[in-house]
Structure 1
Amino acid sequence: MSPETAPRPPLPPFSLNDAVKKVRMAEDAWNTRTPGKVALAYTPDTRWRNRDTFLTGRAEVEQFLTAKWEKEKDYRLIKEIWAHDGTRIAVRFCYEWHDETGQWFRAHGNENWEFDDMGFMAVRHASINDVAIAEADRKFRWPQGPRPAEHPGLTDLGL
């Protein structure tokens, strides 16, 4: 099987531990900022709403993520499970990034995910708000890539 068709465990129905693992796997993938790799976690016909943008399919997701990470420089993300049930997981998240002028932002958001039987995300709804912050107020300062295991999560950071 290819990565595009092989099951992506953990598979639904999700236990709490499975859901927490799925959330961390998504966070780690997004922190690579590799659009092609991230897009493989979604069904070929995935449906997304990201803020005011509606996407269908892996190709659109990959294009969207490519443009996103060209704009959102030095992106670092933390996701935290909010709830889960069967094939669905609700997540809250924050990420920090800066624009081309050096202005830093912290994006606060919520996502609702629905998975198919093979563990691919079929539906993603994301609501996100950006808040300008000073560079000194950043909390996500690990080297580019996945968040280190010892770095605090959102609750521990008071976010």
Structure 2
Amino acid sequence: MKKIIAPILLLFVFVFFVSSFASEKMRLNDNTKSVLQDTLRIDSTQIRFKYKPYKKSVHASYYHDRFNGRKTASGKRFDNTKYTAAHKKLPFGTALRITNPVNNKSVVVTVIDRGPFTRGREIDLSKKAFMEISHAKGRGFIDVNIDVVKE
């Protein structure tokens, strides 16, 4: 009887600890009015920035290579090797932190184009940005969280 109670008690304590940690994290994520901080590492330098949650669990896709070199709605030339994005409503030049909640990888992109014009999709990323955060390289879309980077 003692051999059975100890593992069950240990499992109960573990589940309680994990659930309390998860609920604390959920409270932080639900507070969308606050401005949070993060660190971006570019080469060997670290840049601190603040961000405000914008949307959670939205559909993201990436540009096809055939759009390389074409002019975007902002007038800039599109390059699939840079960290850029297209959004329907956000102003050009807005910096966004795009996070894949599955593997918790994130990337900072700049809005330079309008789109996507497919129903259900919120944002189009450059191929470089998409592949950096993607957990399934064979798919052309993922669900992401979008945060607006504050200056």
TM-score computed with the length of structure 1 as normaliser: 0.25
TM-score computed with the length of structure 2 as normaliser: 0.26
